[in-house]
Amino acid sequence: MKRTTVPQRTRIFRAVTIFASGMGAAMLALWALDMVGLTLNSYREAATFGAIVLGLASLAGAGTAHAYFVGSDDTTEAYEEILNTDPVTGLLSRKGLAKALPDYVGKQGGPTRMNRYFLISLDFDTLRDFNEIYGVETGDSLLRVFGERLRRVVGETGLVARTSGGEFVVSLGVNHDERELRAAVDALLGVLALPVRVGKASHSVFWNAGVAEVHQSRPSLERILRHANLARSTSRAAGRGTWSIYHPEMSQMAAYRHWVEAELYGALQRDELSLHYQPKVLAATGETIGYEALLRWNHHQKGSIPPSEFIPVAEQCGLIQQIGDFVLRRVCEDLGKLPDHITVSANVSAAQFNRDGFVANLGRLLTETETRPERLEIEVTETLLIRNLAEVRRIMNGLRELGISLAIDDFGTGYSNLSTLSELRFNTLKIDKSFVDRLTESDDSASAMVASIVGMARSIDAGVVAEGVETQEQFTLLKAAGCTVMQGYLFGKPMPLSAIKARAGEARATGDANMPFLASDNEELLAATG
């Protein structure tokens, strides 16, 4: 039989008796609310949470204090079970994992077995999008499916928990051979990447993972999970479906990201952000028909900070919208200083694109800067297309009504299909640099992807721009595949507006109309490829 507690011996019961004997039911109810808060934080001082509630109810009903009430530890155990279990998936909760981890490592490991234990943090960052598009019930169904998949893979040999949102944590023991760990993580990511059918729809989700070792002498969940999450963040920067193992340098990188975030807030006020423009040229003639605006940050102490280091931070901390506004305004202002036939494309983040009033604000900016809308092109990434498609379509139609062109950046790396592209009516598809790089590596899949993108573009009457063209061989292969516009270091590095204007002035002085837009060595290239 479970142990019981005599409440007269507890501080809480004596307080109840004193208050109940001298106060009415209304005051007792207010006191009860306060006691509930106390109980949730330090319920060990009372018999049980349930016993206190029952006792207070009796007191309020009778208007007087009873002699005693009894609380059973069954209630405490049930309360502990609730806290230790994730209510959606039935897996361990964060609290449950913290409680189970030391016992798991202590029982499973040992010097004689020479096993190593790792915490694997797995996360998909689109749960919020799924909840917004399909509803929370669908999101919960996805979580249950993923939880069951992990449980089947891990079996009885490890721990599986859902710690928050779309974050799952697995603890596994492996031998010293790191290949075993890699095989285990690959198996977890592989089973999670399989499509999930919920109702009539099939969903695919991209995951990232981070791994940190659990030291048997110090199996502290918070420290290890922090390390695993740092490794996961590092893997996300490398692309979806990847994973990393924690090393101490990652903590230094995290500190650097915090520094970047703090400094980024003052970068706009200090006028440290600027735009450089990279030319886009016609493959047939080498003529520059436009530029892509690329953001640059020249820090007052550190000098140039690469966009790959501060753009992700801006997206995480919410500054990307303010920075995006700066970019669009500067592009519109600079367009007035470029030849009338030149267009400029500007990248717009998903957060800025989906912000209320984006189309209206951009329309006012065009009017204010006297910019012809057909000279501005908005670039978005494929990840935007997994959001509410109806809302994306509405915003794109608004931009199209203004006369603005639309391009999809880094095409071929995400979610797009011909049906979606045809429905949204993009003006331009930009072939991702990763495919261009692989063209000269005898990679048949890259060649097939480029040909497929060119074919898709033609079928929806859209243009194609190949990004990251750096060699003559790439240029030749892309031109043969049907790419009509190209961009990359082969044609010119990104440069400030002042450099473009200086080259234009030099061209006027020499009478060479192509000089601002085409280097002399590229004239030979174009002649050689005919």
Task: Please list the active-site residues.
Answer: 467
Comparing C-alpha atoms, which of 164, 155, 89, 75 is closest to residue 121? Answer: 164
- C-alpha–C-alpha distance, residues 258 and 191, integer Å: 34
Asked if residue 161 lies in contact with residue 97, where contact means CB atoms within 8 angstroms, the answer is: yes
Asked if residue 29 lies in contact with residue 63, where contact means CB atoms within 8 angstroms, the answer is: no
- C-alpha–C-alpha distance, residues 72 and 307, integer Å: 60
Q: Which residues contact 418 (CB under 8 A, 6 or more apart)?
A: 456, 459, 460
CA angle (323 as vertex; 411, 317 as ends), nearest 5? 90
Half-sphere exposure of 181 toward its Cβ, with a 13 Å CA cutoff? 23
Residue with tokens 């790792």: 118
Residue environment code for 34-49, b if the CB has 16+ CB neighbours within 10 A, otherwise e: ebeeebeeebeebbbb
State both tokens at 487. 């961009």
Q: E strands within 226-307?
A: 243-245, 273-282, 288-299, 303-305
- C-alpha–C-alpha distance, residues 53 and 482, integer Å: 75
- C-alpha–C-alpha distance, residues 498 and 327, integer Å: 17
Torsion angle, alpha carbons of 334, 338, 340, 345, to 10: -60
